[in-house]
Amino acid sequence: MSANRIIHIAADAGKIILENGGETYRVEETMSRICNAFGISLAESFVTPTGIMISVTTDCDQTITIVKRIKSRTVDLEKIAKVNDLSRNIKSQGLTLDQVKVELNTINTTKRYSDKTLILFSCITVSFFTLMFGGDFHDFCVSFIIGGLIKILTLALSKVNLNDFFINVLGGALAALLALLSVNFNLATHVDKITIGSIMLLVPGLSITNAIRDTIAGDLLAGISRALEAFLIAVAIAAGSGTIITLWVIYFGGSLI
């Protein structure tokens, strides 16, 4: 069995997990499990949020190393779960390399939820966050609309490959601006509740969680990288919403609450 094919398939599996929001330790564990399942016992890997390096040693003392660059990342926990399950079932189900490769390709090309579905559930998420933070029914309705507009904006900007930092700046700015306008025209009651509820759609919850998990697992470089990423996203959101609120107070004055 070709060690070269095995290492490439293992790296592809790791890349799918990392691109869809998986933890560093899970990527390394999955790649090692695939290599071991096909008879390669000496497999070492080093994973960061933006790259994968894996090296294996064959029975003939030949060392093979490949590097995979991660250029885009999103969140799709279903793909992570499927790749994880596949790696665990190789031995128990007697899967061949070709079968694993086909399965990985199927998982990787599976379409996520449609944009309409994402927009709808973004609306629902934001509106109920606003209620949780103390907003009233009018705030709920306005937040429902704002959530959809923020999601439409982020989806559109992502398709033109705009930097995530600026996407979050614009998202935070849009949330604050629409909250201020809605209260100014007596469509809602609380600027603060609407703004906080709306920007929850942009908050990097998964990055924060993965940063903690990677750090606890001993992957300090990955943990620090993810924590810094989460911090920069928080700064972007604060910069966008803070700028709009500051300009509003300067030019229009009045209370924001």
Residues contacting residue 32 through CB under 8 Å, at least 6 positions apart: 10, 43, 45
Residues 57, 180: Cα–Cα separation, whole Å: 61
- The crossing angle, in degrees rounded to 10, of helices 137-159 and 191-199 is 40
Reported as a single tens digit per residue, the pLDDT across 124-172 is 999 999 999 999 999 999 999 999 999 999 999 988 888 889 999 999 9
Checking if the pLDDT of 59 tops 90, the result is no
Reported as a single tens digit per residue, the pLDDT across 224-248 is 988 998 999 999 999 999 999 999 9
**Mean pLDDT of the 61-75 span:** 87
Instruction: Give pLDDT, residue 103.
Output: 94
Split at pLDDT 50, 70, 90, the class of 2 is confident
Instruction: Give pLDDT, residue 41.
Output: 82
Residues 7, 31: Cα–Cα separation, whole Å: 8
Reported as a single tens digit per residue, the pLDDT across 103-120 is 999 999 988 788 999 999
Reported as a single tens digit per residue, the pLDDT across 160-184 is 888 889 999 999 999 999 999 999 9
How far from 138 is each of 123, 163, 194, 212, CA to CA, in Å? 14, 34, 10, 37
Split at pLDDT 50, 70, 90, the class of 206 is confident
Reported as a single tens digit per residue, the pLDDT across 6-46 is 999 999 999 999 999 888 989 999 999 999 999 888 889 99
Checking if the pLDDT of 254 tops 60, the result is no
Checking if the pLDDT of 54 tops 70, the result is yes
pTM value is: 0.84
Q: pLDDT exceeding 90 applies to what percent of the chain?
A: 65
Instruction: Give pLDDT, residue 239.
Output: 95
Helix (H, G, I), strand (E, B) or coil at 45: strand
